[in-house]
Chains A and B, each alone.
Chain A
Amino acid sequence: MEKVLQVKDLKISFHTFSGEVQAIRGVNFDLYNGETLAIVGESGSGKSVTTKSIMRLLPEHNSEIKSGEILFEGKDLTKLKDKEMQKIRGKDISMIFQDPMTSLNPTMKIGKQIMEPLIKHQNMSRHAAKERAVDLLKLVGIPKAEIRVDQYPHQFSGGMRQRVVIAIALACNPKILIADEPTTALDVTIQAQILELMKDLQKKIDTSIIFITHDLGVVANVADRVAVMYGGKIVEIGTADEIFYNPQHPYTWGLISSMPDMDTHDEELFSIPGTPPDLLDPPKGDAFAPRNPFVMKIDLEQEPPFFKVSDTHYAATWLLHPDAPKVNPPEAVKRRQNQFAGNAPTATLEKTGQSQFPGKKEGK
């Protein structure tokens, strides 16, 4: 499959009064044509910062892309001037935000807000743009679109507003759609509707989606592939099946164990102990080590490289090293692993340079 976006060794810092916060500490991933890649992780893991940097929407005064490349159609987005970036935003890459209640301009008609990117990027006349706006509203399932197009955001409910935001994002048939927790602020029934809509639209408009969420239930619903982020890095990446049924990283185990499922009855819901790392002063070894029940000495000393589990599945944990002791994953994970078709493959240390997940310090 063709790669539409490549993020290579991205490092981003924020300059604050207390010092430099290393929010992103070397992130690598590819986005393939037509796929949905979910990025999961807890608050502060860097998932939003990663995607905002793709759009170059990080605050200019205190954020800095320290190193790395974001390649899109042969261009490195990190190097583009704001003028050039304006031509890509909303046209080739567009974004859906978390809170539909605040992401529409309260003093501008819905139609005008949808027309804006059309007039800007496709040189449409006002009349044509308005017709297209009505079509888009119909596409995202808003009834009486001809009337609705002349209304203001406060006349729409939360779910309807998110549909409008999706319509704006899809206006120019973008190649990449970034959805930053698009269902977090919505109630559960509306969440399901919006997810259905997004899946439906992805089929109609051939676009790749980066879906950020902290809700694994949502991930299972939409994602082809999943990247798990922790402490400003991707710690595990694989297909949705691999992450859900054969997770390898202890952090992913923790995430999956803390997800209630049908088999959970009376026992207390699991939560990962401890707090995320302080990225003002990132730990030397594995950032997850202090919270890892399977921690080894090397976790505190060296960052683990990516170990290859399968062609599509990589995880950065020393537990996958051939010399590491075999550990028993938590019950919930084991149940899932047992469901996973076939035997869990044995991990091998990825040594080839062409890997998209090169380990920083390979070997021990």
Chain B
Amino acid sequence: MAKYILQRTGYMIITLLIVTSLTFFLMKLIPGSPFNNFEKLSDVQRGILLDKYGLNEPLPVQYFNYMRNLVKGDLGISFQFDNTPVTELIANRIGPSAQLGLQAMIVGAIIGIFLGVIAALKQNTWIDYGSTFIAVVGKSVPSFIFAGLLQYYISVKLHLLPVMLWKGPEYTILPTIALAMFPISIAARFMRTEMIEVLGSDYITLARAKGASRWQISLKHALRNALIPVVTVLGPLAVSLMTGSLVIEQIFGIPGLGEQFVKSINMNDYPVIMGTNILFAVLFVVVILIVDILYGIIDPRIRISGGKTK
């Protein structure tokens, strides 16, 4: 197991290197520079600024400098936010995004898996159709519509929860629900399909032949086997939720990563773009590793071991 994780970490570093390099060069293709304010800055001033931040150097040199700093753990400083270090900017913003994403993911996975399971157990009944309906709505209606509806009915009309901002647990409920609709629909759809397939398999018939009850069969035999493909989809989805949904953060005024990221792209704030992107990439590869380890826990056939022997 340790050997496996070590090996995977090696691959992860290579992946991150490629992602970082690609992002760096692609980012430089965006026209303009961070100092585009022609009204306030003279040509000379801009020249000095570009020199100061090393942006006049040839691209390969800039790349080499960036990578050298990156290895030392230095992500650089932001151009737009008063020379704040990028690490600090991200650290300040990641909390709300991660919390919101995690909450949405947990709620989404639990409700989605539950809906999928009962839809499969009560196939072709109104429960099944209801669950499918929720899944279709969750997948096809954009989250900002849910956000707007929730704000209007729950907050404005019924005064149950705050409309927006990020000041405490009660503020997180509405954005979590709005953001969870997508994972709910994904989990429900996958779970239903998988459960139906698993429930039709021979070992389920054998479990019935042993005298197991419906619930025993669903929970002890079917669920675990049906979860494998669902975990595959939900892992990467969790990352994209955790790293911030721009729209939801904007609507609810949540000080998260998404908002900052888009602003940085508009401003050509290269270090922040790079820093945020590297964070996304790291989260992604780590989650994929976790998903792979989870596979092994769920399914002994793909259990990872150091060598051939167990």
Query: Which of A's residues lie within 8 Å of B, judged by CB?
Result: 55, 57, 61, 82-83, 86-91, 94-95, 97, 99, 102-108, 116-117, 120-121, 152, 154, 165, 168-169
Given A105-B225, A106-B300, A107-B298, A86 contacting B211 (CB threshold 8 A): yes
Residues of B within 8 Å of A57, CB to CB, are 205, 208-209
Contact of B202 (CB < 8 Å), options: A82, A102, A168, A169: A102
In the complex, 18 of the A-B residue pairs with CB atoms within 8 angstroms, ordered by the A residue number, are A89-B208, A89-B210, A90-B211, A90-B212, A91-B211, A97-B205, A99-B202, A102-B202, A103-B203, A104-B203, A105-B221, A105-B225, A107-B298, A116-B207, A120-B211, A121-B211, A165-B206, A168-B206
Contact of A103 (CB < 8 Å), options: B202, B213, B300: B202
Q: Which of B195-252 contact A (CB under 8 A)?
A: 201-203, 205-214, 220-221, 224-225
Given A106-B225, A107-B299, A89 contacting B209 (CB threshold 8 A): yes
Contact of B209 (CB < 8 Å), options: A87, A90, A107, A154: A90
B214 (CB) vs chain A CBs: closest residue: A82
With an 8 A cutoff between CB atoms, is B266 at the interface? Answer: no
With an 8 A cutoff between CB atoms, is B83 at the interface? Answer: no
CB atoms of B301 and A152 under 8 A apart? yes
Contact of B210 (CB < 8 Å), options: A83, A99, A102, A117: A117
Q: Report the minimal beta-carbon distance from B253 to chain A, rounded to whole angstroms.
A: 45
CA distance A165 to B206 in the complex (A): 9
Q: Report the minimal beta-carbon distance from B17 to chain A, rounded to whole angstroms.
A: 36
Q: Which of B269-310 contact A (CB under 8 A)?
A: 298-301
B223 (CB) vs chain A CBs: closest residue: A107
Q: Report the minimal beta-carbon distance from B217 to chain A, rounded to whole angstroms.
A: 10
CB atoms of B206 and A103 under 8 A apart? yes
CB atoms of B203 and A105 under 8 A apart? yes
CA distance A111 to B201 in the complex (A): 20
Interface size on B, residues (CB 8 A): 23
Q: Report the minimal beta-carbon distance from A326 to chain B, rounded to whole angstroms.
A: 47
A95 (CB) vs chain B CBs: closest residue: B209
CB atoms of A152 and B206 under 8 A apart? no
Residues of B within 8 Å of A108, CB to CB, are 220-221, 224
The majority secondary structure among interface residues of chain A is mixed
CA distance A165 to B207 in the complex (A): 11
Give the A-B pair count, Cβ closer than 8 A: 75
Q: Which of B124, B298, B300 has the most CB of A within 10 A?
A: B300
CA distance A120 to B210 in the complex (A): 9
CA distance A239 to B94 in the complex (A): 79
Residues of B within 8 Å of A83, CB to CB, are 213
Residues of A within 8 Å of B124, CB to CB, are 61
CA distance A152 to B208 in the complex (A): 20
CA distance A97 to B202 in the complex (A): 8
Contact of B211 (CB < 8 Å), options: A103, A105, A117, A154: A117
Q: Which of B201, B205, B214, B301 has the most CB of A within 10 A?
A: B205
Given A61-B124, A154-B301, A107 contacting B211 (CB threshold 8 A): no
**Other A-B pairs, 13, CB within 8 Å; known A91-B211, A168-B206:** A95-B206, A97-B202, A102-B202, A105-B221, A106-B301, A107-B224, A107-B298, A108-B221, A116-B212, A117-B210, A120-B210, A120-B212, A169-B209
CB atoms of B300 and A154 under 8 A apart? yes
Residues of B within 8 Å of A105, CB to CB, are 203, 206-207, 221, 225
CA distance A107 to B208 in the complex (A): 17
Residues of B within 8 Å of A152, CB to CB, are 300-301
Q: Report the minimal beta-carbon distance from B218 to chain A, rounded to whole angstroms.
A: 13
A87 (CB) vs chain B CBs: closest residue: B211
Q: Report the minimal beta-carbon distance from A252 to chain B, rounded to whole angstroms.
A: 30
Across chains A and B, which 4 residue pairs bring their CB atoms closest together, nearest first? A90-B211, A90-B210, A89-B211, A102-B202
B204 (CB) vs chain A CBs: closest residue: A105
CA distance A168 to B201 in the complex (A): 17
Residues of B within 8 Å of A88, CB to CB, are 211
Given A57-B205, A99-B202, A168-B206, A106 contacting B211 (CB threshold 8 A): no
Q: Report the minimal beta-carbon distance from B206 to chain A, rounded to whole angstroms.
A: 5
Q: Report the minimal beta-carbon distance from B301 to chain A, rounded to whole angstroms.
A: 5
Q: Which of A105, A152, A169 has the most CB of B within 10 A?
A: A105
CB atoms of B299 and A168 under 8 A apart? no
Residues of A within 8 Å of B299, CB to CB, are 106-107
CA distance A55 to B210 in the complex (A): 10
Residues of A within 8 Å of B213, CB to CB, are 83, 86
Q: Which of A86, A165, A168 has the most CB of B within 10 A?
A: A86
Residues of A within 8 Å of B205, CB to CB, are 57, 97, 103
CA distance A323 to B220 in the complex (A): 62
Q: Report the minimal beta-carbon distance from B215 to chain A, rounded to whole angstroms.
A: 11
Residues of B within 8 Å of A116, CB to CB, are 207, 210, 212
Q: Report the minimal beta-carbon distance from A44 to chain B, rounded to whole angstroms.
A: 19
CA distance A116 to B212 in the complex (A): 8
Given A57-B205, A102-B201, A107 contacting B300 (CB threshold 8 A): yes
B213 (CB) vs chain A CBs: closest residue: A86
CA distance A103 to B200 in the complex (A): 11
A168 (CB) vs chain B CBs: closest residue: B210
B300 (CB) vs chain A CBs: closest residue: A152
Q: Report the minimal beta-carbon distance from A72 to chain B, rounded to whole angstroms.
A: 14
CA distance A91 to B211 in the complex (A): 8
Q: Report the minimal beta-carbon distance from B126 to chain A, rounded to whole angstroms.
A: 15
CB atoms of B209 and A55 under 8 A apart? yes
